[in-house]
Amino acid sequence: MEKMKMSVGGLSGEALNKLSKMLDNPTCGWKQLASVVAEQPQFRCSEKELTCCSLQVLNPAGSPARTLLAWLADRSCPLDFLLHCLRKIDHQEAVQFLTASASELIQIAVHPQSQQAPLGSRVVLTCRASGPPGLSYQWFRGKEEIVDETGTSPELVLCPLSPTHQGHYICRINHGEKCLFSQWAHVGLVHAAGSGEGCGSLFPGSVSGLRVIKQPQSQSASEGDTVILRCKAEANPPAQYEWYHNKVPLPQEKTYLLEIQSVTTEHRGEYRCKVFNLYHEVWSDTAAVTIGPCLVTDAPWVEVDRGSETQEVNRTGAGIHPMQQMVNPPSAAKKFYATDKVALLIGNMNYHHHRQLCAPISDVHELTNLLRQMDFKVVSLLDLNCQEMHSAVTEFLLLLDKGVYGLLYFAGHGYENYGNSFMVPIDAPLSYTSKHCVCVQNILTRMQEKETELNVFLLDMCRKRNPNDGDIVQPSPLKVTANIVFGYATCVDAEAFEVKREDVSNGIFINFLKRRVCEDEKVTVMLDRVGEEMGRCAITRGRQALELRSNLSERRSLIDPIQTSECSASYSARNLQWAVAHVLPESRSVQFDCGVKVQLGFAAEFSNVMVIYTRILEKPKEIVSCSAQLTDFPVEVDVDLKRSNQETLLEAGCLLLIKEELSSPDVPSLYTRIRSLQRLRMELTFTVCLQYTYVNMDEEVEERLSVTVGKPLVAKLNLHEPRPSQNSSSSSYSSLNSCNYPGSSSFVEDFASVGSAANAWPDYAQTGSADSNADFLTSSRSANVPEETDSPEIFSAPNPLVASKSLPFSHINDENYKFSDMCNFHSF
């Protein structure tokens, strides 16, 4: 039944209350329902939410089941899935009640359409609905009910059309005390010869009868965004619509509005709409839809006057593709380059003593993909303690040099005292002060010592004052460099918010930033536009507003190309430094005594989060079933045992990798997600546990093999170890100035171990030119795809960028937000 596709929120309050009473019992009730609905991750309730449901019994009017149903409604749980779950827990009474309630729901199938027709013609407005027997219709023009006989039928006939008929019409469908309103439709007059033909003609010959008044518009979008195309027509009889994608019909799209949620590259192409009625047929203009940020690093660019017509279209229209802004620059136009581009992204969620956050994982992932497509070397880290944050910043500074663009993004808890911003680590005590946190202004001072060309700080955190911290931190004085940009997700003494979505949550700031960050604009201009769009969002107005602080004097953009000719040795060395923190173990096969051969594959989700999958490559015929599971991981790393060795990435807790499945359907795999690799002190060792059954034997046999894969990804940097103290400009930290190879760095200290593992690292200290070995370096634009061969070379030719699939539900849509969904990053 089509109505079963509707959300739980479509049920009336009375129906929800009755259903709640049936489920408020301990034997077959809301607890069992909550357990069953968890088979769909987007409807899974956390322990905190389940506890909140249980506590409703302390309220005289409270209902645990009603609270659970409200959450399911907020998450758009369909009625058919709820019915499936009720059947699964064998609650027959609730099943019968929900089936009967759904049959009584009123659903409008055809809404009245706006029309324009000449004086004296015949206009028909149609509204049709499905529901229980005995539906009745009422038509209104504005607030005035139409009381003639046509005002009580699904079709309202206006004949002969006169000036008094002009206006807005709406239909109300009634069933007992229940009612539902249609959309508004406007009826207007047009001046045309022969308009006095009267009602005897269904269609006046002087009127075409069908005219497209709104054409679908070409647009660009990123993966995961929502694309909306509109094609409106005036017609008599009312128009019908059919949408086509690359000349192929879309059978489910039959309205004037085409909305595609969570778009991928499959949705790019040309779209047209066929508009028709009983007498005529016309086609709309073709709308071109491009998906994904454009890769623009080598093309010439020039600043476009924001007051020009082209620029106004870009600001107010639906996303102009960056390639459409390219023009041939005049000879006098100055081009800007970076000697390299480096970014450190930190997302803290799982705090030990403060409110847990949800959005940083998706926000860091979104920004990582976008920055990589602009040739940034990105280090993305989740859940760092204080020591790890300080060490990560130190390693980040080692990647900086003269002329480099440096970007730091932080999502998590934070505060601001006396003009200084502080990022809060996950191990910060309950009453933390500046000594427990990382000062952003101190990082900026150290960045300036590297003579970076552009310093961008994006702080997605609260900026309220910390009442526990009375210290006044005085960072070293800043140089006058005219190259600093601060993008604060919120204003001083205000909070930053995240919005809960199904599987993942998103921060308000990143939702708007990702649309603009790849534009060919001065960084401050780009952030200004982000702030303007945030200001137009109803849910954040008066609660969160972007604040921009900058002294940037040149038109530098994040998409500026990299110019390496002046310092190629430095660039190559920096590539090597970055690559050390992003080495995945080699894919390998493990042979068991029973004859089973198991493949181990690896994929990186973040710089400190890795997924391992096991796949059965070979097994003897006498073995009917077998599976290879991973266990016995070191205590330092974080592995959720309940979600390890799962058949899908989603079940393993990984929502963000490029592919939903890393193996073919006929060769199933088991996935295990390993977090907190930065805490790994020794090599990563685990056990592959093979469980199999022979023919005609019921007893399962088990074999175990220990596997060591070295220190993967960021584990090589030993972020858990303290770094030497900073001594201003005479620091002992290594520098890449004058194109020298770095001397003292944990990057370089691990160089030998990486080389022995991969057998593919060039020795830059001994070669005369780093350029000759450039092909062996890991490209910063390579995607984290799993190893698929038995023993691939780690540093083969750079892979082309495969943009990670953006998160669903990440595109800001004002009308879908609820204030109850919002959580802030502040935790006092």
Catalytic residues: 413, 462
Reduced to 3 DSSP states, what percent helix, strand and coil does the chain have, rounded to the nearest 5? 25, 25, 50
Please give the full DSSP string across 291-349, using - where no structure is assigned: ES----SSS------TTSHHHHHHHHSS---GGGG-----TTPPP--BSEEEEEEEE--
Say how far apart CA 243 and CA 289 lie, in whole Å: 14
Contact present, 230 and 292 (Cβ < 8 Å) = no
Rounded CA separation 709/714 (Å): 14
Q: How far apart are CA 50 and CA 67, in angstroms?
A: 10
Q: Around Cβ 732, how many Cβ atoms within 10 Å? A: 11
Contact call for residues 715 and 580 (beta carbons, < 8 A): no
The residues that bridge with 793 in the sheet, in sequence order, are none
Burial zone of 782 (CB within 10 Å; 0-12 exposed, 13-18 middle, 19+ buried): middle
Which residue type does 659 have? Answer: K
Spell out where 136-263 has E strands: 136-141, 144-145, 155-158, 167-175, 178-181, 185-190, 210-214, 219-221, 227-230, 232-235, 240-245, 248-250, 257-260
Three-state DSSP class for 194? Answer: coil
Question: Would strands 454-460 and 484-488 be described as parallel, antiparallel, or unpaired?
Answer: parallel
Burial (CB < 10 A; 0-12, 13-18, 19+), residue 724, is: exposed
Strand 669-674 and strand 248-250: the pairing is unpaired
Gyration radius of the chain's alpha carbons: 31
- Which residue(s) pair with 601 in the sheet? 613
One-letter amino acid identity for 130?
S
**CB count in 10 Å sphere of residue 738:** 10
| CA–CA dist 822, 508 (Å, integer) | 9
Angle between helices 30-37 and 79-88 (to 10 degrees): 120
d(CA 570, CA 479) in angstroms, rounded, equals 24
